[in-house]
Structure 1
Amino acid sequence: MSPLLYGASAVALVCLALAMAFAMVRVFRGPSAQDRVLALDALYICGMLVMLVLGIRYTSEMFFEAALLIALFGFVGSASMAKFLLRGEVIE
């Protein structure tokens, strides 16, 4: 790996960790349930991006598969939370 790519991945990981910290603050201090759900969406997207950056950094396909699973479960979780906030129940 070139030193430029190594440094860029380190900067990206630090920025993503900072974004995850801000999202966690919004999850705990969100004024409404919709803000908390949106912060959870941002949190899973940042987690997926961390896995992708680690996959590029270590040239491992296992991280890409983990990112795909995070995206899948995050979408299902977001859809179920949105349905719960709209209707008050998940299963009809």
Structure 2
Amino acid sequence: MTVQDIFNLSVSLTLAILCLAFFVTIFRIVRGPTLPDRILGLDMLVAIAIGFIAVLGIKTGYTLYVDVAIALGLVGFLATVAFARFVLSRGKTEDDILTEARMAASQARHEAKAARKAEQRSAAPANPAPKGGDQ
């Protein structure tokens, strides 16, 4: 096996792994339950695209691909920051709403428990009879 064969095999294996990562990321974007999951998926797609460009640049020896990968990295970073600011400007996320709902349910349980205790105290006799009989 020559060095060229090892090089071609490693490039093919790298492209196959990047394809697998690409499809797994697409699945996460489509299925992802929350908007932040989808944003992270898009950021991951940018990283995978940079990987594809880098591998193609290495395979072809064309150095302009490095400049394209750097530009894509900068644009991807700015897009992620813009999406993050959008999520923050929207206000509450789904996780925040779920946390507030859990806290409200917990507070309601505590209030119901306190009300039952107060009801039990008011139902008890005011002056219980002394034990041991009259002397």
Indicate whether the TM-score tops 0.5.
Answer: yes
Q: What's the Cα RMSD here?
A: 1.5
Q: Deviation per CA, 1:42-92, whole angstroms, max 9, x where unpaired?
A: 110000011001100110112111111110110010000011111239xxx
Q: Measure, in 2, the Cα distance between the counterparts of 1:42 and 1:2.
A: 31
Give the number of equivalent residue pairs. 89
| Aligned counterpart in structure 1 of residue 20 of structure 2, from 10, 18, 25 | 18
Any runs of at least 4 consecutive aligned residues in structure 1 with deviations exceeding 2 A, and if so which?
none
TM-score (structure 2 length as normaliser): 0.63
Q: Distance in 1 between matches of 2:72 and 2:90?
A: 25
- Percent identity between the two aligned chains: 28
Structure-1 residue corresponding to 2:50? 48
Which secondary structure does the structure 1 equivalent of 2:33 belong to?
A: coil
Q: How far apart, in 2, do the equivalents of 1:70 and 1:45 lie?
A: 9
Q: CA offsets per residue over residues 14-33 of structure 1, 9 Å max, x none?
A: 10011011111111111000
Amino acid at match of 2:30: F
CA distance in structure 2 between the aligned counterparts of 1:72 and 1:39, rounded to whole angstroms: 17
1:33 has 2:28 as partner: no
* Structure ID, larger Rg: 2
**Structure 1 gap segments, 5+ residues each:** none
The answer to which structure has the higher helix fraction is 1
Amino acid at match of 1:58: T
CA distance in 2, matches of 1:11, 1:32: 32
Q: Work out which structure has the larger RCO, using CA pairs closer than 8 Å and 6 or more positions apart in sequence.
A: 1
Report the TM-score when normalising by structure 1: 0.90
Amino acid at match of 1:85: V
Aligned partners of 1:5 and 1:67: how far apart in 2? 21
* Separation of aligned partners in 1, 2:29 and 2:61: 32
